Amino acid sequence: MTHDEILKAAGLTNADLTGGTLAVHSPIDGAEIAKVRETDAADMASIMARAQQAFKAWRQVPAPRRGELVRLLGEELRAAKDELGAVVTLEAGKITSEGLGEVQEMIDICDFAVGLSRQIYGLTIASERPGHRMMETWHPLGPCAVITAFNFPVAVWSWNTALALVCGDPVIWKPSEKTPLTAMASMKIMERALKRFGDAPEGLVQLVIGGPAVGEALVNSKDVPIVSATGSTRMGGIVGPKVSARWGRPILELGGNNAMIVAPSADLDMAVRAIVFSAVGTAGQRCTSLRRLIAHNSIKDDLVAKLAKAYASLPVGDPRKSTTLVGPLIDHAARDRMQAALEQAKSEGGTVHGGKTVTSGVPQGGAYVEPAIAEMPKQTETVRTETFAPILYVMGYETLEEAIAIQNDVPQGLSSCIFTLNLREAEAFLSAAGSDCGIANVNIGPSGAEIGGAFGGEKETGGGRESGSDAWKGYMRRQTNTINYSAQLPLAQGVKFDF
Ligand code: NAD
């Protein structure tokens, strides 16, 4: 299929794809695939006002009925999975199976949220006063802005939107300026679900297109009490304080610098498979990509040799081909940043294997690279920095305590894992004195999280949680209720106030 046929199959029309100022390029071959219209800054106030208006109606719709809209969204996503997955591949450069996997993640979170719509539970609490009852009630909070990154162009929107809708909150989505087409195609699917639902308020789910300036309008407005922002730590450092300064609620999902500790007892063959998938999958462009390998000195050389062999056979190329495992980077600037990081690593004493630009056997115009392994003498500044590319830094360790200290000694705190068959080591890694990350795994890699758990990380990753578990509470306001069914008015803490 041509680029245009892929976009048309996902429901995008000539009017959607032409006549605008924002040029969209496919990372596959660098071709310009659309010029989309950006949202006019002057329209932002009315978009947010529409969301506020929708909120007034939606918050009164019973949560299980709100769940029905998300159930329909899940149905429509199932029907459009192949078409949307192909646009993810075209616009973000993911290999076909990962493009489809991203849509599957959208379907999964819809299923989760439908169940949640009948499980928005509050506690009943014992009161210290006779004839009194205490309880917690969860109420909708208001419009939720969802600002997303290029590398999960649709899944992150669905994590937020499925929960926000069930929780009673309208959504305004600002996708990455690098991936507006996946967002527009997702909105077509959402619109089909809304039509079948019938009586959802107008403006319940809106899309705005553009760069940081469009995002800033949402960040700065009191009409948007929740701002869920996914992207770089640099972006979060700007957005988080602004939302907090106007008493909004930021949910920040920022950069990671994820590590794997490989202990002497580890099943090395399994570790190699996990390392290759998590370091090289999505061309190293997942927030949870494996970036640091902390291997016990007794097995490090053996492990690096096994990895170098596996890396040598990795098919790099057109992400649409079923045999490809490593697709392109998002653009040439990303490739340049990768090359600069590798040069920097060398200047810090690192030995680099691979990492070269690939130009033969790949579509011309895209930024294709060999994934790199960089053996480092210690954890240098380059290693402590997230470079969004397939670079795996390798360091040695002697004691588990030392390995955990290295693992935690970075500014980010998203995902982490240990490969070990030793129960004491595994439990120490998961303990209060172990990994300081939001995600910590045993005998699986750091990437590829399921939607059932809360997703997010600590430190400069931002502290936000999305997706499963009780992450829904971030989209609601908690109200504590005390009900007096006695004929007395006793005060708490035994306070007397008689008059
Ligand atoms: P980015 O920070 O360049 O952009 C992310 C989004 O923020 C875009 O929509 C962008 O337009 C918007 N933005 C930028 N500045 C803004 C501002 N001042 N105000 C409002 N909006 C603004 O990130 P990217 O290059 O698209 O994505 C890669 C980064 O995202 C990596 O650091 C990666 O680790 C991170 N990421 C994190 C998670 C997570 O869940 N923790 C998930 C995916 C990606």
Q: Is 91 a catalytic residue?
A: no
Exposed / middle / buried, residue 435 (Cβ in 10 Å: 0-12, 13-18, 19+): buried
- Tell me which of 148, 158, 221, 232 to substitute to probe ligand 1's pocket, judged by most ligand atoms within 8 Å of the beta carbon: 232
Rg, the chain, Cα only: 24
Pair of tokens at residue 279? 């370091």
C-alpha of residue 134 to centroid of ligand 1, in Å: 41
What per-residue confidence (pLDDT) applies to 222?
Answer: 98
The pLDDT tens digits for 372-385 are 999 999 999 999 99
For ligand 1, atom 40, name the residue with the nearest CA.
Answer: 253
185 SS3 class: helix
Nearest to 81, CA basis, from 110, 62, 97, 104: 104
Give the orientation angle of helix 155-167 with respect to helix 63-79, to 10 degrees: 160
In the chain, % helix, strand, coil (3-state, to 5) comes to 40, 20, 40
The pLDDT tens digits for 125-169 are 999 999 999 999 999 999 999 999 999 999 999 999 999 999 999
CA distance 335 to 316: 14
- Tell me which of 151, 207, 439, 465 to substitute to probe ligand 1's pocket, judged by most ligand atoms within 8 Å of the beta carbon: 151
C-alpha of residue 311 to centroid of ligand 1, in Å: 29
Do residues 403 and 348 touch, judged by C-beta distance below 8 A? no
**Is beta strand 368-369 parallel, antiparallel or unpaired with respect to 357-358?**
antiparallel
Nearest to 372, CA basis, from 344, 391, 399: 391
User: With bands split at pLDDT 50, 70 and 90, how would you rate the model's confidence at 348?
Assistant: very high
- CA angle at residue 99 from 269 to 235, to 5 degrees? 95
C-alpha of residue 193 to centroid of ligand 1, in Å: 28
Nearest to 158, CA basis, from 142, 140, 175, 134: 175
- Tell me which of 235, 287, 291 to substitute to probe ligand 1's pocket, judged by most ligand atoms within 8 Å of the beta carbon: 235
The pLDDT tens digits for 241-281 are 999 999 999 999 999 999 999 999 999 999 999 999 999 99
Ligand 1 — pocket residues by CB below 6 A?
147-152, 174, 176-177, 211-212, 215-216, 219, 230-232, 235, 238-239, 253-256, 287, 386, 388, 414, 461
C-alpha of residue 212 to centroid of ligand 1, in Å: 10
Give the orientation angle of helix 400-408 with respect to helix 423-430, to 10 degrees: 30
37: DSSP letter: P
Given the residues 144, 287, 417, 437, the one annotated as active site: 287
User: With bands split at pLDDT 50, 70 and 90, how would you rate the model's confidence at 67?
Assistant: very high
Pair of tokens at residue 495? 């306070």
Q: Is 287 a catalytic residue?
A: yes
